[in-house]
Structure 1
């Protein structure tokens, strides 16, 4: 992984001529000079852009696979699903995963003749995938942080004739590598940790099957779901600090999770990095590099959870995660099947003792 990060940081070097900018330039042009179409590197802004391509080159190094970028994580998820499904297909998705994926599937794909089957993430590990066209996995699940054996589950799905798509947003390719574990496609919201500063929407699809990736790329071009040059540049810049940010965030999350587990007001804590967590086996087996930066825990009720979030000055009350600042929210307000007092906490870059002091002061008494 260290070699991969080094190549990411220097991926432009071999292409630079004397006087070229070391930092990738922002190209916002929708049109390109075309006295002759043949041999043109760029034809039209919907087909490709130099700045997207710099970002895709970085992501390809991290994923060790072809990558196609999109203007949001949901755009990437949509592209992967529309590129692999059609009328009469059967899609298996997690009932406890990202709720917008479920809405897309039941509200749109189902109306186009796709059979949508929902099941909990934990059940995917032993589920019968016979007849499935696509098995869509999200591990750790968002927000519950359940983890399944990706290699074993992918192998069973593919043996049943299904394609496997894995949402790897919570881990990034630095902490978990689904393509190495049997997935056909990976989708991710680069809005989160890869960008890291909560100031841009972006997503990508990665895969090693040229035919599948051509379908994904065609979907982007035909649907017109293309990223902007400035947005691509922001994510390109963010990726250059991803490794060091993750190191701090994950180390702090391990400390915070252990202390929350011992707090009398906290119940049902989930963090895969803790030895007693049901998902810890994925860390112990090496599927995940560590426990990540997300923690799930439950306070007694919705009122106590909201009061805690309002009192803690180190936690932004926002619905995303993976940013430089710690962020938390009560997930039941979005309809997730979690207790009313369940909080998803994304640990940021604050000094860990300062962050813990703010959390401890804001927590209710046991």
Structure 2
């Protein structure tokens, strides 16, 4: 009786199942992300900062722990994102052009305008970081929306999710095309061998542990090719049959939300601000990132949505108003995980320029989240039924 009480239908212990279910929710994943980043940031600015640095730089194989979090664990995050991408394009909102055109346009505008603002501010300087403010952190943004989402239109969340899927796809392309320092074609061709075997095996044995060594082999060969290894996660996801994407994502999302993303955030956010915070605020990299996230995302998402609706037959969902779209644009300025990763790729992890970029990402994301929460909370108050809390 005791064994049956604590077992779930899949054969796993009930506490583990409950934990996994919690990690699949946007709120818990977002909270873990924020908590891990705060711990890393605070620790890096205490008298024990040297211990944090020692842990970050502790080497296992040919990468240190910070490197493994960025290139290894984040591959799991991109694998889950790739599964969601494939499903959305095959059977989701992105399959229908009429429903997809507005969030696609919003995603493109929300990446182009921040990149333009950053580049203009940094002309003649660190323009290589142009893509840093162009990414949206969907876990963080959805966590904010989940906290204030009561009485907001359900279409708002759908719009944000669809926008974020396209944003992820564009971010993956940017990383692969613009932040590959050198390309070794032979290693990339060799990666096709385990990738092809994975594609064949996942169709016949989607739950077998044979898939894991094939995935690791693909990751290692992509890493050796010079392409950022997280791209391997997307390539592997695209080989999963559409019918199996939801179940595979269900299995791996808790690992992504509970381990991969928080560990990366812990190492990526650990920048020392005690000595040169004022100088960082005056640095053009920091200013460019903050302005790109706070202003660029809001302007880009809102303007692109308005232009497409104005000059095409596309229309907003009936329950959405333009203040909702502006608030969603502000939420798009929460560019945490991928923005931090691009900063490391652009300037090199641990460099002074990377530290300025990190401060910009942290400030810009917090400001965007607060502004979005204030505006959307105002809209929620207006949409709240009388007599309801």
- Structure holding more strand per residue: 1
TM-score computed with the length of structure 1 as normaliser: 0.31
- Structure holding more helix per residue: 2
TM-score computed with the length of structure 2 as normaliser: 0.29
